[in-house]
Amino acid sequence: MAIRKIQTGDAACLYKVSKPVKGFDEKLWQLLDDMAETMYDADGCGLAAPQVGILRRVVVIDCSEDRNDLIEAINPEIIYTEGEQGGMEGCLSFPDEQGYVVRPRVAVMRALDRNGEVFERRGEGLLARAMLHECDHLDGRVYKTLVIPTPDEAKED
């Protein structure tokens, strides 16, 4: 495993649509392992392949407090959302920045695991936010395009 360089700011790879994964092989497994190690090293709860310069539809997520619930998702898609939650959001590609983003409170993601087997994962709260955030990266969207004033800031206007 290796820690990869996280692309930041205006890196072109952060704004491009990623291509689907077709091969489930050692190259993919190495990418997944490296992405997990990179995410944990950076103290993040999610990382998408474009953030390490790879334009493929691959994400890793772990929102657990004890860091032992790693989700590896290949070609993920959000198939269901429900409710609404607003909160501060950040991104490893925009260090030391945050913004208030409203997203669904519940999300269900369908994806393939490292062996090409289909699975679904339901997330609420932070996990739903992370699934949506990372899937956005695969479509070249960054959270900063979704930032709105916080409820307190809106009251001031």
Residues 155 and 157: their CA atoms lie apart, in Å, by: 5
pLDDT of residue 83: 98
According to the model, what pLDDT value does residue 151 have?
82
- Whether residue 2 is contained in a domain is answered as no
The answer to whether residue 10 scores a pLDDT higher than 60 is yes
Residue 4 lies in a domain: no
CA distance 79 to 34: 27
Note the pTM of the prediction, 2 decimals.
0.95
- CATH number reported for the structural domain that contains residue 81 in this entry: 3.90.45.10
Domains identified in the chain, total number: 1
Question: 126 in a domain, yes or no?
Answer: yes
Catalytic residue among 72, 84, 134, 153: 134
120 has pLDDT over 60? yes
Residue 56 DSSP one-character state = B
The domain in which residue 39 lies consists of 12-156
Average pLDDT, the chain: 96
Both tokens of 6, joined, read 């996280």
Q: Which residue has the tokens 């092989």?
A: 25
Task: Decide: helix, strand or coil at residue 131.
Answer: helix
Asked whether residue 157 carries a pLDDT value surpassing 60, the answer given is no
Judged against a pLDDT cut of 90, whether residue 95 lies above it is answered with: yes
Is 7 part of any domain? no
32 is written with which tokens?
């997944």
Q: Is 26 a catalytic residue?
A: no
